Amino acid sequence: MRTILIPTDFSENALHAIRYALNLFKCERANFYFLHAYADEVFGTYKLNTKEQIEVNKKKIKEQIEKKLAKLIVDITEVPPNPKHSYKGIAVFDALVDAVNEQVNEINIDLVIMGTKGKSNDKKIIFGSHTVQLFKYVKCPVLAVPYDAEFQQPKKILFPTNYMLPYKRRELKLLNCLSGAYKSEIYCLYISDFEDLSARQIDNQRFLREGLPNSYLFFEQTAEKNRTQTIQEYIKENNIDFLVMVNSRHSFLEDLLYRSTVDEIGLTTKTPFLVLQNLHR
């Protein structure tokens, strides 16, 4: 039984992500949790409300959100119903990232699925700030679905990797089940000018093979250059349906000085983007 959490702000982008998720797991038993974190709505723009006003706002907004979640579930179950799926709405007085992390731990979530832009719908930005924050700080795989990405079976999956990061078994199990269900081909792309792998890289590559037994794996290499550009070109030239990368925890200084490849891809790609974590849960 798969447990899937989908944050929603009730926008068209969020609804698109929900439809994508229902299609992706339509043949699998799954529990879907629709989450709305409403702390920002309670405090308002200036956050100068009194304690009494805050309590009144909390109660009022929670009631409104719960009604919206109930309507969302009714709308989803009507067209068409799927007996393999169950649904529950969750309204939480918290910031989005904190709310998601709390539910990930409490419900033991397997996957978070997120629409990319939310209400702003700025066409210059593919993935909004909330999505990138989930990539970086949520201790769970996150699948971001661009609004322009119509559902199609993930037959061809690109997995750029340098074989240096340790993979988590639970994370690979999710990818293995997904690729096995769709008989997907996974292209492990090593971007480097050095052909020989170190002992550590060989061990991680072997672990990757063992962790994805139901997948058709292909190991490829390309010369080192701009990694973001290389990945985007590969997606376009090879008709990739699905992009997978592993996020790593950087130091605060590195976050200030550099933008990780995961963040760059997250801000530009129009392909559904699954970010695996190498964090302990």
Q: Count the residues in the chain.
A: 281
Contact 29, 1 (CB under 8 A): yes
What b-and-e string marks burial along 240-253, b requiring 16 or more CB atoms within 10 Å of the CB?
Answer: bbbbbbbbeeeeee
Alpha-carbon distance 159 to 161, whole Å? 6
Rounded distance between C-alpha atoms, residue 210 and residue 206, angstroms: 6
* 37 and 62 Cβ atoms separated by less than 8 Å: no
Q: Class of 156-269 per CATH? A: alpha beta
The Cα angle at residue 239 between residues 278 and 25, in degrees rounded to 5: 55
pLDDT of residue 106: 95
Write down the pLDDT at residue 127: 45
Q: Identify whether the C-beta of residue 42 lies closer than 8 Å to the C-beta of residue 149.
A: no
How far is the C-alpha of 146 from the C-alpha of 163, rounded, in Å? 27
For domain 2-145, is the CATH number 3.40.50.620?
Answer: yes
Cβ atoms of 157 and 148 closer than 8 Å:
no
Structure tokens at 103: 């539910």
Helix axes of 129-137 and 261-268: crossing angle, nearest 10 degrees: 150
Rounded Cα–Cα distance for residues 193 and 199 (Å): 17
Per-residue pLDDT of the chain (281 residues; tens, 9 = 90+): 899 999 999 999 899 999 999 999 999 999 999 999 998 887 765 555 677 777 888 888 999 999 999 999 999 988 788 999 999 999 999 989 999 999 999 999 999 999 886 444 454 444 457 888 888 888 899 999 998 888 999 999 999 998 988 888 999 999 999 999 999 999 999 998 888 899 999 999 999 999 999 999 999 999 888 888 899 999 999 999 999 998 876 544 445 445 677 777 776 778 999 999 876 66
Start-to-end CA distance of the chain, whole Å, equals 19
Residue intervals of the chain classified under CATH 3.40.50.620 are 2-145, 156-269
Which pLDDT score is estimated for 132? 81
The pLDDT value recorded for residue 31 is 97
